[in-house]
Amino acid sequence: MAKLLLKLQRYFRRKPVRFFTLLALYLAAGSLVFLHSGFSGEPTVPGSPRSPAAAEGPGLPYLGVMQLSRGFKAAATMPAGARRHGPWFKSTSKEPSDRGKSRDNGGPRSRALRGRSGREKEEDRARYIGCYEDSTRQRTLRGMSFFDYKKMTVFRCQDNCAERGYLYAGLEFGAECYCGHKIQASNASESECNMECKGERSNTCGGINRLSIYRLELAQESARRYGSAIFRGCFRRPENVSIALPASQLMLNMSVDKCVDFCTEKEFPLAALAGTTCRCGFPSTLFPLHEREDEQLCAHKCAAEEFESCGSTEFLLVYQTQVQDNRCMDRRFLPSRAKQLVALASFPGAGNTWARHLIELATGFYTGSYYFDGSLYNKGFKGERDHWRSGRTICIKTHESGQKEIESFDSAILLIRNPYKALMAEFNRKYGGHIGFAAHAHWKGKEWPEFVANYAPWWATHTLDWLRYGKKVLVVHFEDLKRDLFVQLQRMVALLGVTACEDRLLCVEGQKDGNFKRSGLRKLEYDPYTPEMRKAISGYIRTVDAALKLRNLSGVPEDYYPR
């Protein structure tokens, strides 16, 4: 062995280039292995949602074994040595074998009372409607479903179903969540829904083949879905209905699916159910979808589906199909160099990317950026690569707040968002990407307190600087833009000096979400703000509110102040 090493030593002395080449290759290979191990997955941190030890702690929802139907799928990353289970959980372990047993914490009656008090607290977002039968062969709620045998709560189930637009959320066996648009089973006795939720023992989460079902009162209307269609609401029939909704078909066995499929085949983005008639068309000045009616006016049962509503001849139930409305999808650079530089200014996390998406659709021109973000360019923001002074884009994204930077713009749209929401959104972006989420360890570690200490004062100084140094500033609140997109977008487009027709703006309303909307699936289940943080942020809010009112502008919305 010694002779072999001696020969190798003499060989490399004579040819040192080969020696250094092999050494460099060895180091490069080691570096690649190290990088791969670092990026192949999240480390298991105590308190992290990926860590088994975190099962009992608060934080981001731990999805456990998940099965999403209707086109939604999720791959669960299992710890080493963990057992994988199919979508319908069957096992010889102790937990499933105890399926027929419940913990004796005061008996079924006391659990039912605690569950009822918990339901009263949920009334603002969901209404408990009863205990229902269920079967593994024929599910009562046939939409998305997911299981979590460690941390299931009523809120998590309701939130996940509401986020995906379902009308009902049901919990079973203490750990299973089912979503759906209609209940396809009979009532059961309340005493049969007697199992505690795995994540909160104070609430009831169904029983053995029994569902505790809630009707979701605050499902996001813009995201309420029926299969692939998005629910838009109940509307009064337009005067010139044959012009507003040019395609129609008589359907004696009417259902939502049949009408949506018909309008999809005809390549219309809207499907309107009018009793036994299905009508299709586009949002237009004749049918703008701005004046919603009470849904009870459309609550007439479908002929083919007992649990569905199909509207009437006077009140139409409208769904948005998967057909893309192309009237606002064309975008290009400005045909001639812009005479003025207009800033789209905001604090990070205030919805600047979303506002750019809306402006591009409304004007037909690309927006630029003070920075360069490759992920945004790849998602279609082609003005991202242009220098911000190129003059080829309709406005320039910026988070800058210094006097020199602000005075380099001729006018600005200043987008302001609730600091509590903006700080959390930017923290998620910083540690999870544009549509990702920060890990549980970041929220519970030193990163979050340090982030708030550094960024919260900037939220206030950013607005104050733009109000002070900006030459012509249009203030738009993010919350107002969400609540009344059409009116706020008209204000923004007017400042940009572009004439946008009403039909194009109506088209934008139907395509408003874009590619950078975070799902609510991993919302925090606790308030990350400490009393000290809230006290400081409240002071910043009051300062900004006073500055806005000093310039004869409306102050900040009421929901900016802490709960």
Per-residue confidence in pLDDT tens, the chain, 563 aa: 666 766 766 666 666 766 677 777 777 776 655 544 443 333 333 333 333 333 333 333 333 333 333 333 333 333 333 332 333 233 333 333 333 333 344 444 444 444 444 444 444 568 899 999 999 888 898 877 888 888 889 988 988 887 766 788 999 999 999 988 778 889 999 999 999 999 888 899 999 999 999 988 654 444 566 767 888 889 999 999 999 999 999 999 999 989 999 999 999 999 999 999 999 999 999 999 989 898 889 988 888 887 788 999 999 999 999 888 888 888 999 999 999 999 999 999 999 999 999 999 999 999 999 998 888 888 889 999 999 999 999 999 999 998 999 999 999 999 999 999 999 999 998 888 777 788 888 999 999 999 999 999 999 999 999 999 999 999 999 999 998 999 999 999 999 998 888 889 999 988 887 666 665 545 667 789 999 999 999 999 999 999 999 999 989 988 887 64
Burial class (CB in 10 A: 0-12, 13-18, 19+), 236: middle
- For residue 54, give the amino acid letter: A
Q: Are residues 525 and 446 in the same domain?
A: yes
List strand residue ranges (DSSP E) for 103-167, in order.
126-133, 145-147
For residue 4, is it within any domain? no
Q: What are phi and psi of 2, to 5 degrees?
A: -65, -40
For residue 110, is it within any domain? no
**CA distances, 43 to each of 67, 440, 450 (Å):** 24, 12, 22
Q: Are 553 and 475 in contact (CB under 8 A)?
A: yes
Which of 216, 249, 278 corresponds to the end of one domain? 216
For residue 180, is it within any domain? yes
pLDDT at 126: 82
Q: Are residues 392 and 499 in the same domain?
A: yes
Q: Are residues 449 and 481 in the same domain?
A: yes
| Domain residue limits at 507 | 342-560
**CATH number where 407 lies:** 3.40.50.300
pLDDT at 127: 87
Which of 216, 251, 269 corresponds to the end of one domain? 216
Q: Are residues 197 and 236 in the same domain?
A: no
Helix (H) or strand (E) run with residue 346 in it: strand 342-346
Q: Are 226 and 273 in contact (CB under 8 A)?
A: no
The number of distinct structural domains making up the chain is 3
Q: Are residues 207 and 245 in the same domain?
A: no
> What single string gives the DSSP state of each residue in 498-527?
----HHHHHHHHHT-STT----GGG--SS-
**CATH number where 261 lies:** 3.50.4
Local structure of 495: helix, strand or coil: helix
Q: Are residues 498 and 462 in the same domain?
A: yes
pLDDT at 434: 72
Distance CA 226, CA 223 (A): 10
Q: Are residues 160 and 133 in the same domain?
A: yes
For residue 155, is it within any domain? yes
Distance CA 208, CA 172 (A): 7
Establish how many alpha carbons lie within 13 A of residue 470's alpha carbon, considering only the half-sphere containing its beta carbon: 24
For residue 49, is it within any domain? no
Q: How far apart are the first and last CA of the chain?
A: 75
Distance CA 298, CA 274 (A): 9
**CA distances, 195 to each of 93, 119, 205 (Å):** 19, 15, 6
Q: Are residues 351 and 475 in the same domain?
A: yes
pLDDT at 5: 65
Neighbours of 386 (CB within 10 A): 18
For residue 91, is it within any domain? no
Q: Are residues 155 and 270 in the same domain?
A: no
Q: Are residues 354 and 301 in the same domain?
A: no
Q: Are residues 496 and 378 in the same domain?
A: yes
pLDDT at 53: 34
For residue 282, is it within any domain? yes
Which of 216, 239, 271 corresponds to the end of one domain? 216
Q: Are residues 212 and 358 in the same domain?
A: no
pLDDT at 199: 87
pLDDT at 108: 43
Pair of tokens at residue 547: 């500055």
Establish how many alpha carbons lie within 13 A of residue 67's alpha carbon, considering only the half-sphere containing its beta carbon: 13
Q: Are 442 and 427 in contact (CB under 8 A)?
A: yes
List strand residue ranges (DSSP E) for 144-209, in order.
145-147, 168-172, 176-180, 196-197, 200-204
For residue 332, is it within any domain? no
